[in-house]
Amino acid sequence: MNSTSSPLTSDHQAILINGKAHAATLRHRIREDVLAFHDRHGVTPGLAVILVGNDPASEVYVRNKAIQTHHAGMRSFMHMLPETTSETELLDLIERLNNDAAIHGILVQLPLPAGIDARRVTNAIQPEKDVDGLGEVNAGRLAMNLPGIVPCTPLGCLLLLRDQLGDMKGQHAVVIGCSNLVGKPLAMLLLAEGCTVSIAHIHTRDTAALARQADILVVATGCRELVRGDWIKPGATIIDVGITRAQTPDGKTRLVGDVAFDEAVQVAGRITPVPGGVGPMTIACLLENTLTAARMQVGETPS
């Protein structure tokens, strides 16, 4: 490990955690499981994705989901609704999908346009079809350590950490950001894994000092390059969830994480890149959750 007083000037290089490759392996295994599931039950898992409004980045992203759903041997149903969609119309669609036997998973892309109550919408999804795990039933099950559907991004982070570190008991995990979508459920998963978990948020007094104590540092704030090299304990494992689209001087866009990667890579033991880290794992875990949901709906106990 780094023993110099100025780790940033050393030639240490963290191991890159290849989320893209890990996700590809996962998707391959899911495809085989989907085929075996079809052989057992004659059922093809179906995923419905709802996008309200026309944010170009979200459109690209939900199309990617649809393509990968097909590649995994599942059915994909896209619902692109106009920005002017009312909450009632959205709730009516969810009710129809809840009652549709061809649909095993329902995902509503967030954020929703102003005026639509996201909590009412996510709670309207039948818990067995809530493949994002965002409804109160699945969130409660996670908090109580009961079997349920775990949100895709936190699940993806956990799988990467297990693969890299194995047993995490007793490790100090610091999670920066505590949204219902990422930070909070991930903190629950790490707690269940046996970590000592600290959660930092906008009111935390000295986030840098807390981060420096982390064996495992997860950052999900949407604050680009918040975490600098000197926030990191030498050798720590860094999971960078954040994705911000930034302009380059030549007018192109590139994706930037919540961690100053060039600095972090000189101090950390292992780190996820952006892109190619957590993002692809999120989509693979959505496919996994859709298969899990289909299993529950045909009466197979989840493994």
Ligand X SMILES: NC(=O)C1=CN([C@@H]2O[C@H](COP(=O)(O)OP(=O)(O)OC[C@H]3O[C@@H](n4cnc5c(N)ncnc54)[C@H](OP(=O)(O)O)[C@@H]3O)[C@@H](O)[C@H]2O)C=CC1
Instruction: Spot the catalytic one: 109, 171, 266, 297.
Output: 109
* Cα(221)–Cα(243) distance, integer angstroms: 9
- Beta strands at 196-200 and 216-219: parallel, antiparallel or unpaired: unpaired
Q: Tell me if 243 contacts ligand GUE by CB under 6 A.
A: yes
As a 3-state breakdown, the chain gives helix, strand, coil percent values, each rounded to 5, of 40, 15, 40
* Cα(181)–Cα(108) distance, integer angstroms: 12
Nearer CB in complex with ligand X: 2/61:
61
Nearer CB in complex with Mg ion: 72/243:
243
Q: Taking Cα atoms as reference points, which of 303, 285, 291 lies closest to residue 150? A: 285
Q: Tell me if 112 contacts ligand GUE by CB under 6 A.
A: no
Instruction: Spot the catalytic one: 33, 130, 132, 258.
Output: 132
* Cα(120)–Cα(117) distance, integer angstroms: 5
Residue 135 Cβ vs ligand GUE, minimum distance, rounded to whole Å: 11
109 in catalytic set: yes
Nearer CB in complex with Mg ion: 52/181:
181
Residue 184 Cβ vs ligand X, minimum distance, rounded to whole Å: 8
* Cα(122)–Cα(145) distance, integer angstroms: 21
Q: Taking Cα atoms as reference points, which of 33, 60, 92 lies closest to residue 289? A: 33
Residue 233 Cβ vs ligand GUE, minimum distance, rounded to whole Å: 25
Tokens of 16: 């890159």
The site partner of 107 among Mg ion, ligand GUE, ligand X, none (C-beta below 5 to 8 Å per kind) is ligand GUE
Nearer CB in complex with ligand X: 271/296:
271
* Cα(146)–Cα(141) distance, integer angstroms: 5
The site partner of 242 among ligand GUE, Mg ion, ligand X, none (C-beta below 5 to 8 Å per kind) is ligand X
Q: Taking Cα atoms as reference points, which of 236, 216, 238, 142 lies closest to residue 185? A: 142
Q: Which of 58, 179, 196, 204 binds Mg ion (CB under 5 A)?
A: 179
The site partner of 276 among ligand X, ligand GUE, Mg ion, none (C-beta below 5 to 8 Å per kind) is ligand GUE
Part of the chain binding ligand GUE (CB under 6 A), chosen from 7-15, 208-216, 246-254, 277-285: 277-285
**Contact (CB, 8 A) for 248 and 26:** no
* Cα(241)–Cα(275) distance, integer angstroms: 10
Residue 88 Cβ vs ligand GUE, minimum distance, rounded to whole Å: 20
Residue 12 Cβ vs ligand X, minimum distance, rounded to whole Å: 26
* Cα(7)–Cα(107) distance, integer angstroms: 43
Report the binding-site residues for NADP(+).
177-179, 202, 243
Q: Which residues bind ligand GUE (CB under 6 A)?
A: 61, 107-110, 132, 152-153, 243, 255, 274-276, 279-280, 282-283
Residues annotated as part of the active site: 65, 109, 132
